[in-house]
Structure 1
Amino acid sequence: MNISQIRTITVFVSDQDKAKDFYVDVLGFAVRTDLQAGDNRWLEVAPAESGTAIVLHRPFPGASAGSSSGVILSTADLDADVAAIRAAGGSVDGPEDLPWGRQATVKDPDGNAFVLSTASQAVSGK
């Protein structure tokens, strides 16, 4: 196999401009690509140091905005990030201490859920 990385993850959103504002202004992501091709817009955002980007896309036929969950975002300072997200108007559940580390959940305006996590030493192997 020659697969070397996950390049993008697609998250379906109902309003790409509103989603862009959330991911840039609340989560602090950078816009990597914002291209319009006819009725289609390819909008990629990512944390500054990440190799993987999130594509904020209108739902494909049969899909719906707000249906994504399970993506885990790593942070070195969960409490500071939770405070910053709340100060920017974002909603966060947690943080909470779990056997594998501390985590909190943040949702974008469509309800797509992301877990903010700091892994415990037992899980991360450090």
Structure 2
Amino acid sequence: MLISKIIAVTVPVADQERALAFYTGVLDFEVRTDNPFPMGRWLTVAPKGAETTLLLASWFPGMAPIGGMVVAAPDLDALAARLRGHEVAFQGPSDEPWGRQLLFQDPFGNGYVVSQA
């Protein structure tokens, strides 16, 4: 095996403080690292207990938003209620041939597909 795991996925954001507020305040992620970096902050977040982190990077101004990152949630109805309460647009939950899912974007246009876990 040449690669054994994914450590982080870079998520382009225009404003790290706004991104931090969204991922921790709306999605209830925890901060894993928040350190000075020559081009801003090395800021990573993740769901509690998750191994892979999201690197909220503001130093790629031309980087297009990511689309279709697939994550899991145990209760899509609870997630929908949370997103609605924070006025985040979303689609679903819907039952699809492959399972139940919900779609949303962060404030920077990064798209997520949330599958019922």
Q: TM-score, normalised by structure 1?
A: 0.85
Query: 1:12 touches 1:56 (CA, 8 Å); kept in 2?
Result: yes
Query: 2:10 touches 2:55 (CA, 8 Å); kept in 1?
Result: yes
> Displacement of 1:86 after TM fit?
1.5
Query: 1:16 touches 1:58 (CA, 8 Å); kept in 2?
Result: yes
Residue 71 in structure 1 maps to residue 69 in structure 2: yes
Q: Which amino acid aligns with 1:11?
A: V
Relative to structure 2, which stretch is displaced further, 106-115 or 1-10?
Answer: 1-10
Aligned to 1:31: 31
Residue 4 in structure 1 maps to residue 16 in structure 2: no
> Displacement of 1:108 after TM fit?
0.6
CA-based RMSD of the aligned residues comes to 1.5
Q: Which amino acid aligns with 2:66?
A: S
Q: Which amino acid aligns with 1:114?
A: Y
Over 3 Å counting, the alpha-carbon distance change for 1:29 and 1:61 in structure 2 is: closer
Percent same amino acid at aligned positions? 44
Aligned to 2:20: 20
Q: Runs of 4 or more off by more than 4 Å in structure 1?
A: none
Please give the per-residue CA displacement for 1:3-61, whole angstroms capped at 9, x wherever unaligned: 22111000100011001100000111001001112333111000001101000001436
* Structure 2: unaligned runs, 5 residues or longer: none
What SS does the aligned partner of 2:71 have?
strand
Number of aligned residue pairs: give it.
Answer: 117
Aligned to 2:101: 103
Query: 1:26 touches 1:89 (CA, 8 Å); kept in 2?
Result: no
Query: 2:14 touches 2:61 (CA, 8 Å); kept in 1?
Result: no
* Structure 1: unaligned runs, 5 residues or longer: 120-126
Structure of greater Rg: 1
Over 3 Å counting, the alpha-carbon distance change for 1:33 and 1:39 in structure 2 is: same
Q: For residues 84 and 61 of structure 1, what CA distance do their matches in structure 2 show? A: 29
> Displacement of 1:87 after TM fit?
1.2
Q: Which amino acid aligns with 1:83?
A: A
Relative to structure 2, which stretch is displaced further, 13-22 or 87-96?
Answer: 87-96
